[in-house]
Chains A and B, each alone.
Chain A
């Protein structure tokens, strides 16, 4: 039964991340997603310290504050401070992540968090923390998150779609690019923090970018891409679990590895098909 809960948790994380990841990949904003996933760490630690609990709602607030904070920090360094964008992203997230680690080290014992958890999560312990009706608490949390994200995309599809592909057109229709930008970034912050316990701060990036990239290789249509990304994510969580069991390693790390294998396979198959489908041609047209 434990295996089932772990795979289900992984699949839920992967699905949430895959859906949002599609938009990040298409908007060329994956590094901002990476930055947010690092930056929520101090928010989580401070929320732990203040509330003395793992209650999801305090964590959400802490993460949301820092998720917005890093977007503001990057914007300020880039616009007011005239720093080039890649450096501004790099500086901001390493600073916030460092602060997070320093806070954890200063309050060891008071914070139910350690460096290992930050680095690769504790998905193996998920089944131990049971919630309502003997279903693990994390499964409830992530299930509700997934439904919210599906709802968010369902309701906001038009706005997200148009602002992703054509900002000028969106503006001419009176759709606010800025609103959807921040709505998406908030959704990424929430997802990052709720996935944090299972997969840690850094591997969440693999779930955000990986399945979406695999799907993007396979299709050009957004609805298909969303579905394929979720499937790729679920497949990775199943494969990852058994890989981890086989070599007795971190489950979250194994899931990220399987995402990499999926991407490599799709890229390789596409390459082979392209090579074989090309009939030998002469340069002279004969």
Chain B
């Protein structure tokens, strides 16, 4: 508890820098990762993050210092090289992209390990701490690091903000962007460059091996909460920042714990929760949506049943028993009663002794569904040249899906016909 207060009051300047660092790093990688995710290039990020290791070692070998700016430069160089290598291999040989990614990833990493161990064995005193790049050193971020990496994060976010409309377009529809005259090649290159830079600063927090999680996982989780890119960026940035803080906090309370893996563990946990409970695409949300749809279809079918019976004996508001309805269209007792209960509650039908009758509102609704059904049958016979006896099944499904806008369009398009292909009148 005391540690909790100590940590979250941010009175200790070290903690302040660490938290600021992980928040900026987590948020900026998440934002860049969202575009990588949407462009289905999530695993390329993985390759880049492994490919950064030799760059760091080379930068150290040439400069002899552990200046974060120099190392970042080296990292960006080999990270970019790995992207070029993947593109070159997939374009110039029959190697498929998955193998190209795996090959580039592991070979660059192997070269990195070779260089790193060679540096470690060389007895250079300056090298200690270089291996921190493997698993990150979020808990040891100091003021100087935060200035450099935080600065780059801000630049990254700024570039994304400036190019937002263009990035949005190439993430969803490359061909359209190209035909609309956007410089697609330049924009793709820019996004790739931003990815490399994001990886190069992100691995400060979690290390090269787990860096791809910082890119992919927040975006994958955010996707379950929203259908809008802007919102998705905000949510994924929030998740990245939050996990960063939690990881830093855990390794603060338990110093032997590595920060990077904990950030990834927290992040993954949030992602799995999002998969289950996400409000837009989550497993539960989809389950309830399905239930709602089933219930809506059932209710509309019952209303249609009332309406058809009414059409048959020319009294739309006559009372019908459960049995009458089931004779018209068989529905199991429990389902039928459930649907009737819902319709009663909405005032679409009313109870009349043991039987039920349509209210005025219910008649209008029944007419609307019947109308859509019959209009659709006409549409299919007229425009898709389907036989009269083939169109009922299809109309049965579509009648529950047509929106009011489509309904209007359908009416106007068919010029308000009087009867459907089976000579049943169309109620307007």
Contacts and interface: CB of A to CB of B under 8 A. Distances in A.
A and B associate? yes
Contact of A87 (B42, B109, B265): B42
B265 A90 contact: no
A86 to B, nearest CB: 4
Contacts of B105: 34, 205
Closest 10 CB pairs of A and B: A256-B110, A260-B107, A253-B113, A249-B118, A206-B106, A94-B213, A253-B114, A95-B268, A250-B117, A98-B261
Given A90-B45, A253-B115, 5 more contacts: A30-B99, A31-B43, A94-B217, A106-B257, A260-B108
B205 to A, nearest CB: 13
Given A86-B43, A101-B135, A102-B261, A205 B94 contact: no
A206 B101 CA distance: 11
B110 A253 contact: yes
A32 to B, nearest CB: 9
B74 interface: no
B220 A95 contact: no
A257 B111 contact: yes
B395 interface: no
Interface string A229-262: 0000000000000011001111011111101100
B46 interface: yes
B216 interface: yes
Contacts of A206: 103, 106-107, 109-110
A102 B118 CA distance: 27
B339 interface: no
A82 interface: yes
A99 B268 CA distance: 11
Contacts of A196: none
B45 to A, nearest CB: 8
B281 A94 contact: no
B96 interface: yes
Q: Is the interface of B mostly helix, strand, loop or mixed?
A: helix
Contacts of A34: 102, 105-106
Nearest to A243: B114
Q: Is the interface of A mostly helix, strand, loop or mixed?
A: helix
Interface in B254-292: 256-258, 260-262, 264-265, 268, 271, 275, 281, 283, 286
A75 to B, nearest CB: 13
Contact of B111 (A33, A82, A202, A256): A256
Contact of A248 (B45, B122, B258, B275): B122
Interface string B39-56: 011110110001000000
B219 interface: yes
Contacts of B95: 25, 213, 216-217
B274 to A, nearest CB: 9
A30 B104 CA distance: 12
A87 B220 contact: yes
Contacts, number: 205
A45 B358 CA distance: 68
Interface string A67-110: 00000000001001111101111110011011101100110100
B103 A213 contact: yes
A147 B46 CA distance: 33
Q: Which of A77, A108, A209, A248 has the most C-beta atoms of chain B within 10 angstroms of its own C-beta?
A: A209
A202 to B, nearest CB: 6
B258 A25 contact: no
Contact of B114 (A25, A105, A247, A263): A247
Contact of A94 (B102, B108, B219, B268): B268
Contact of A91 (B98, B107, B112, B220): B220
Contacts of B116: 249-250, 253
Contacts of B101: 30-31
Contact of B210 (A97, A248, A256): A97
A115 interface: yes
Given A31-B98, A248-B118, A270-B93, A87 B37 contact: yes
A90 B213 contact: yes
A267 interface: yes
A244 B121 CA distance: 11
6 contacts: A29-B98, A38-B209, A209-B106, A247-B114, A248-B117, A248-B121
B103 A257 contact: no
Interface in A257-284: 257, 259-260, 263, 267, 270-271
Contact of A86 (B42, B122, B223, B281): B42
A210 interface: yes
A145 interface: no
B283 A101 contact: no
